Amino acid sequence: MADFERFRILLEEERTRKLALLPALRADISSTNAARQDSNVDDEHDPEGATIAFELSQASALLQQSSSGLAQVEAALQRLADGTYGVCAVCGAPIAEGRLEARPWTPYCLEHASTGRRGR
């Protein structure tokens, strides 16, 4: 089996970053919700209301994206622990090292990256 120690380190660093980011995003959503509830804003007709709705939408999207990214990183760390890291989840071929350097959390080889879980 290949030495994936450097990828484990990259994945753990990414997990740490995402774990630090999530509470900040949740706090942004909470403060935006509080600002929204404390005002008499009619989002549809008040120009400031659209800003609050947009900020809430942006923060929610970032939270969802970061949570999904964290799940991908944790899944990759589990594959490392299981000894299946670096093997495509679709075809079982080794994932190119360059791809792992670019996306250390990927479960797919380059051929299956665009098709995702479906095989060709």
- Residue-wise pLDDT for 92-117, tens only, equals 999 999 999 999 999 999 999 887 65
- Residue-wise pLDDT for 4-51, tens only, equals 999 999 999 999 999 999 988 888 888 877 766 666 555 555 555 567
Residues in the chain: 120
- Arithmetic mean of pLDDT over the chain: 84
Distance CA 74, CA 95 (A): 18
Cα–Cα distance list, 44 to 33, 40, 47, 54 (Å): 16, 12, 8, 12
Distance CA 18, CA 73 (A): 9
Q: Is the pLDDT of residue 90 over 80?
A: yes
